[in-house]
Amino acid sequence: MIRSTLFVSVAAAAVAGIATPRQLEAQSVTAVSWGGSYGRAVHMGVNLPFTQETDVRVVVEDYNGGLAQIRAQVEAGNIHWDVVDLEIADLVRGCDEGLFELVDIADLPPGPDGVPAVDDFAAVAHSECGVGQLFWSTVYAYNTQTLKNDERPATMADFFDLDRFPGRRGMRRVPQVNLEFALIADGVPTDEVYATLGTPEGLDRAFAKLSSIKDQVVWWEAGAQPPQMLADGEVVMSTAYNGRIFNAQVLEGQPFKIVWDGQMLDIGVLGIVAGTPRLDEARRYLAFATTAESQARIGNRISYSPARKSGAALVGKHVLTGLDMTPHMPATPENTKHSLSFDWRWWADHQDDLNERFSAWLAR
């Protein structure tokens, strides 16, 4: 009797044009990203245009990366995140664990010139469980007003040189990127970094270099922290996401300088959480967010390079200041002269072991 009454009520609501609970749920999608200035760029460049075009409301949540929250939702069968902005190593590991839905790049829209998506995306920008949105990089930056030296840092080795450039450093509390930066600073050529890290001696060398500045490091976890630490004088230099430093420079007038030498070029990817009850809406959002136009709308607000080849031509002036974005993009030939591309395959194989070793090293 109760089940029959419920069925009749839901059916009557549908006939009357009143949204049922499932229909209400389907009218929104939860997109999880990194917050701060990047999150605002995504919201203005993707979320609002998506809602305007589809009438699907975007619920925004922020996180600091990793798979723990996604894994907990999938294991509990209680999915409240739908599309997540991920580091590619996490996407690959999560895909292997069954945490993400499969994504067929052939289902995504072509570029503005009609080029199929599979040919329009950079080769490293898609996998079976996700697709790339933007190239970004981890760099280091300094505050020109608080750095006491007349000489200015210019290389990755300078970041680790406490004698010539005394003061505290900011670094993200994870092993990835820090280990690569340590080897570059210790004289390892960028094209030999991962081969070196793949040996016990190479790992020891990287940790030894990190140990040389460990007592001067302030560890950060959220992307908004490095610009704040530099502005407050808590550190004289900090590793950071290039776009966060750009926004502090352009929108806040902060006297920061990026050092591109040794930058770690990476790609942000979007994945759909496995088992989401809003799968159709999530697929629509992912397809919209990864168009060349969406990527360029983000790139015109924060200095991250589109993952689609056709998107680069659509990036021009900063929407608020009119500043030419090209010199600030991480994937330009000028800024990648001495860069290292993040090897997500290597990290997908070594992440767990190095997380454990890094945590033990931090505790010593």
Model confidence over 171-222: pLDDT tens digits?
999 999 999 999 999 999 999 999 999 999 999 999 999 999 999 999 999 8
247 close to 231: Cβ distance less than 8 angstroms: no
Question: What number is the average pLDDT over the span 253-280?
Answer: 96
Both structure tokens of 239: 């590793």
* Res 10 pLDDT > 90: no
pLDDT in tens, 287-305: 999 999 999 999 999 999 9
pLDDT in tens, 120-179: 998 888 889 999 999 999 999 999 998 877 889 999 999 999 999 999 999 999 999 999
| CB proximity list for 155: less than 8 A, separation 6 or greater | 185, 259, 261, 262
pLDDT at 15: 35
Average pLDDT over the chain, rounded to an integer: 91
pLDDT at 24: 46
Domains observed in the chain: 27-135+268-327 (3.40.190.10), 138-264+333-363 (3.40.190.10)
pLDDT at 230: 98
Q: How far is CA 259 from CA 140, 217, 333, 338, 340, in A?
A: 6, 18, 15, 11, 14
pLDDT in tens, 114-125: 999 999 998 888
| CB proximity list for 5: less than 8 A, separation 6 or greater | none
Task: Give the least confident one: 15-19, 52-56, 333-337.
Answer: 15-19
Query: Rounded to whole angstroms, how far apart are CA atoms 23 and 187?
Result: 59
DSSP for residue 47: I
